[in-house]
Amino acid sequence: MSEARIAVHVDKVDKIFTSRKAGEVHALSDVSLDVAAGEFVSLIGPSGCGKSTLMRLVADLDSITSGEITVFGKTPEQARKDQDYGIAFQQAGLLPWRSVRANIELPLEIHGWEARDKKERSDELLELIGLADFADHRPDQLSGGMKQRVAIARSLAERPRLLLMDEPFGALDEITREHMQNELVALCQETGAAVIFVTHSIPEAVFLSDRVVVMSPRPGRITEIIDVKLGERGEDLREAAAFYDGVTAVRTALHGETPAGARGVENR
C-alpha cells in the first residue's frame, strides 16, 4: 500500500490507563492495523476488548502509551486539528436547544463557515438523510433512528475522508438498525470515505465491512482480521450464503480464541 492510499496506520500501539481506583489497566496491547482510503473496517469484540479505545486513539480523544498512529500521514492531533475525520457516537448527542439544521451546522459554525455555505451544505445533508422536512424540528421531536441520522449527517458535514463511528446503531431497534445500515452503505459509496466502525453485532460488522477486525480483552488485542468480500451490498445480501459464511467466520474467530470472553457479543 502506498502512503497516499493509507487512511489510518496503527503500529504496535499500547494503551495503559492508570487510575487511582483500578490501578493500571492494559487496554490495548501491541495493536497494528492499516486502514486503506475508502475502506470500511469494523472493530468487533466483547466489552473491554479496547475497540472503542482504539477508535478514540485514532480520534486523538485519548493519547497512546507507546507505538505510533498516523492519520493520513499526520499525527492524530494534527489530523484532529485539520478536521480530517468525522465522528459519531452511540448516543446521537444532539444539542437539544438547537434545531436539526443547527445541529448539522454545528461543526461548520465552529470552523467559521459563511452563512450561505452553511445553509447550502446543511440543505444537501438534510436531503441526503431524508430529513429535509424536519430541518426546523428540535431533537426531542425526533425518533431514535432520525436522531442518529442527524448525528451521521453532522459527522459528514465537512466531507471528511475518514469516518469514526462508535456503535452508532447500538441503541436502535433491529428494524431501524438494518435500515440505517443500508443507508450507511449508500452514504459511504457516495462519499468514498474510509470508515472505522466499532460494533458488537456480528451481522452488522459482516454486512457493512470490507474487513472485520476481531479483538479480545485483557489485554485488548487483535486476534484475527477477516476479509469479507461480499461485493454489492443490498437487501438480498442479508439472505445470501456468502453473508452467512462471513458471520460464521467472525463468530468462530470470536469464540475460538476466548470462548468465555465472547459472551458480550450479540449474535443476532
Partner 1 sequence: MSKRASGVLWGIAGIVAALGLWEGYKWLGPDDGVMIGDLIVLPRTTDIAMPHTWDVVARLFEPVTRAEGADVLWWAVLQAAAFSLGIAALGWLIGVTFGLALALLMQRWITAESAVLPWVVLSQTVPLIAIAPLVKRWGSEITIGSFQWENWMSVAVIASYLAFFPVAVSALRGLKSPEAADVDLFTAYSASWWTTLLKLRLPSSVPYLMPSLRLAAANAVVGTVVAEVSIGLGGGIGRMIIEFAATASGDPAKTYAPILGAVLIGLVSAGLVALIGVGLRRYMRGEVPA
Q: What is the DSSP string of 28-66?
A: EEEEEEEEETT-EEEEE-STTSSHHHHHHHHTTSS--SE
Give least dist CB 225 to partner 1, A.
Answer: 26
Give least dist CB 110 to partner 1, A.
Answer: 5
Of the pair 59, 215, the CB lying nearest partner 1 is at 59
CA distances (Å), 126 to each of 102, 134, 164, 212, 224, in order? 11, 8, 20, 30, 38
Q: Phi-psi category of 67—alpha, beta or left, where left has phi over 0 and alpha has psi -120 to 50?
A: left
Of the pair 129, 214, the CB lying nearest partner 1 is at 129
Give least dist CB 76 to partner 1, A.
Answer: 11
> How many whole angstroms separate alpha carbon 78 and alpha carbon 171?
31
Give me 218's grid cell: 485483557
Of the pair 137, 238, the CB lying nearest partner 1 is at 137
Give least dist CB 93 to partner 1, A.
Answer: 5
Give me 244's grid cell: 452467512
Of the pair 59, 214, the CB lying nearest partner 1 is at 59
Of the pair 14, 62, the CB lying nearest partner 1 is at 62
Q: Contact residues for partner 1 (CB under 8 A)?
A: 56, 59-61, 80-81, 83, 85, 87, 89-91, 93, 95-97, 106-107, 109-111, 140
Give bridge partners of residue 85 from the DSSP assignment: 162
Give least dist CB 18 to partner 1, A.
Answer: 17
